[in-house]
Structure 1
Amino acid sequence: MSTTTEMAFDDFIAALPAERQLLARQTWQLVRQAVPAGYTEHIGPKYLEFRAGKDMYVGLANQKSYLSLHLVPMYLMPELQEQLAAAAPKLKMGKGCVNFSKMEELPLGALTELIAATSPADYAARLQAVRTASRKKG
Structure 2
Amino acid sequence: MTIDAKTPEEYLEKLPEERKDAFSKLRETVKKHLPEGFEECINYKMLGYVVPHALYPDGYHCDPKLPLPFINIASQKNFVALYHMGIYANPEMLDWFVKEYPKHVSTKLDMGKSCIRFKKMDQIPFDLIGQLCEKMTPQDWIKIYENQIKKS
Q: Shared topology, TM-score over 0.5?
A: yes
SS in 1 for 2:19: helix
Structure 1 residues 69 and 113, CA gap change in structure 2 (3 angstroms): same
Q: Give the aligned partner of residue 63 of structure 2.
A: none
Aligned equivalents of 1:44, 1:111: Cα separation in 2: 20
Q: Give the aligned partner of residue 24 of structure 1.
A: 23
Aligned equivalents of 1:74, 1:122: Cα separation in 2: 13
State the identity as a percent: 26
Tell me which of 108, 133, 139 is aligned to 1:115.
Answer: 133
Structural mapping, 1:117-136, within 5 Å: 117-131=135-149, 133-134=151-152
Task: Please identify which structure carries the higher strand content.
Answer: 1
Structure 1 residues 55 and 45, CA gap change in structure 2 (3 angstroms): closer
Q: Is 1:55 the equivalent of 2:73?
A: no
SS in 2 for 1:59: strand
SS in 2 for 1:49: strand
String of CA shifts for 1:34-92, please: whole Å, max 9, x gaps. 10000111135721011013111111011111110001100000221221111224121
Q: Give the aligned partner of residue 71 of structure 1.
A: 84
Aligned equivalents of 1:119, 1:45: Cα separation in 2: 22
Moved more, 60-69 or 38-47: 38-47
For 1:66, give the aligned amino acid: F
Q: Give the aligned partner of residue 106 of structure 1.
A: 124
Q: Count how many residue pairs are aligned between Structure 1 and Structure 2.
A: 129
Does the CA contact (< 8 Å) of 1:91 and 1:106 recur in 2?
no
SS in 2 for 1:73: helix
Structure 1 residues 133 and 62, CA gap change in structure 2 (3 angstroms): same
Tell me which of 66, 84, 88 is aligned to 2:101.
Answer: 88
Q: Give the aligned partner of residue 9 of structure 2.
A: 10
- For normalisation by structure 2, the TM-score amounts to 0.76
Q: Unpaired segments of 5 or more residues in structure 1? A: 1-5
Aligned equivalents of 1:56, 1:100: Cα separation in 2: 21
SS in 2 for 1:61: strand
Deviation at 1:131, TM superposition (A): 3.1
Does the CA contact (< 8 Å) of 1:27 and 1:103 recur in 2?
no
